[in-house]
Amino acid sequence: MSAIKISSKVDPEAWDDLKELAQETNQSISGVLTDAIQDYVRRHRIRPDVLRHLEDSVRDNETLGRLLAK
């Protein structure tokens, strides 16, 4: 896979932590950044199935929700 070049501003302390982690794990900064981005996206993306189950649950429990809101 070919890589793309990015440019961004980062808090100096976070940058130092990232460089330290790269050194501790024998990885390049690029590798650590790629892993971090992939992990962040995976944790913050709401899968359509999960959203659909949530909507179904809210709809199925509408009466209970109204009672709890009182």
Tokens of 7: 């440019």
- CB atoms under 10 Å from CB of 27, counted, come to 14
| Each residue's pLDDT tens digit, 14-70 | 999 999 999 999 999 999 999 999 999 988 887 878 888 888 999 999 988 888 888
What is the pTM for the complete model shown?
A: 0.61
Question: Could you tell me the CA-to-CA distances from 50 to 26, 42, 43, 47 in Å, in that order?
Answer: 36, 13, 13, 5
SS3 call for 2: coil
Is the confidence at residue 1, as pLDDT, over 80? Answer: no
Write the single-letter amino acid at 51: L
The total number of residues written for the chain in this structure: 70
CB-based contact 28:3 (threshold 8 Å): no
